[in-house]
Amino acid sequence: MIVREPLEFRRVPSALVFMARAILTPRRPGWQAQPPPLAARWRGHRVGGAQLDDFFGLTGLRGHATWPLLYPHLVAFRLQMAVLTDPGFPLPIWTALQVRNHVVLQRSFDRGAVLDFATRIPAQRVVDKGAEIDLHTTAHAEGDLVWESTNTFFYRGRFGAPGDASPLALAPRVEGAEQARWTMPAGGGIRCGRLTGDYNGIHLSDWYARRFGFRGAFQHPQRVIGECLARLPERDHPEPLRLDTWLKGPVYYGAEVGLRVSEASAAVTFALHVDEDARPAIVARLYG
């Protein structure tokens, strides 16, 4: 297998560049037996300024103990976008859907910390109705690993016989009572795109989202996860702190949502339901 040199970024990866690259690369290599040998690094991101303020404004996590767990998940998504739109990536980004996030905060950090991000593709698999590709991202501060995530993207299509499912594929059941109900914001897609680099039209345009079978544009899932975390009861979680999330359906702008929560000694599981739907749109487990 040919191993390419990682993409290197010394400043914020430009959404204009990688989205243009996605548009101007209509032909892709196609599904291969092994994960593509792609990787990217972005050094020197300082936590703070307008990006941190946007993060707090979008998620409601200002002053919440879990904000360092989620902050890199939004900011470092630009690096994943750079990999997903690389001409060597096998499948077009326009057909990708996030289905799982598994995020670990190894050690907390604060405003002013300097983070070095790296992304690679450790695994892929053929599943029922399509294929999954995992992107693994890390954040180091002063040489120490402080955060990491595995983000799984699903591509619908025929890629061969299904193999073994990911050991992380099965979401927990949430039996707890509803603890919060609210109306999702009616906008903010561009603001969230500015933070994540994800300007996919399914988050910005009802017309565009309907072309893919959705009833309208819907929220970036990272933002929705933040809104859920902000409504959980505050409790002490030992580090490393982990958040496993299963993304099962869209959360539309302006939708009425209800959050069911189940607490145990070591973990909090929660499920977000949209417009009285009995099936959750998001299921997650937070534990240390």
* Domain harbouring 108, CATH code: 3.10.129.10
| Structure tokens, 104 | 């670990």
Length of the chain: 288
- Which residue has tokens 């890390």? 138
pLDDT at 3 (0 to 100): 58
In a domain? residue 250? yes
246 vs 88: CA distance, rounded Å:
28
- Which residue has tokens 């061969």? 160
In a domain? residue 1? no
Q: Please enumerate in sequence order all residues whose Cβ is within 8 A of that of 33, keeping only pairs 6 or more positions apart, or say none.
A: none
In a domain? residue 90? yes
In a domain? residue 215? yes
| Structure tokens, 11 | 């400043």
In a domain? residue 2? no
What's the domain count of the chain? 1
In a domain? residue 164? yes
pLDDT digits (tens, 9 = 90+) for 223-272: 999 999 999 988 888 889 999 999 999 999 999 999 999 998 789 999 99
Q: Please enumerate in sequence order all residues whose Cβ is within 8 A of that of 263, keeping only pairs 6 or more positions apart, or say none.
A: 176, 233
Confidence check: pLDDT of 21 > 90: no
pLDDT digits (tens, 9 = 90+) for 150-173: 999 999 999 999 999 898 999 999
Q: Which domain holds residue 43?
A: 7-287
Query: Is 0.85 surpassed by the pTM of this model?
Result: yes
In 3D space, the residue among 187, 191, 218, 213 whose CA is nearest the CA of residue 202 turns out to be: 218
pLDDT digits (tens, 9 = 90+) for 173-202: 998 899 999 999 999 999 999 999 999 899
> Average per-residue pLDDT in the chain?
93
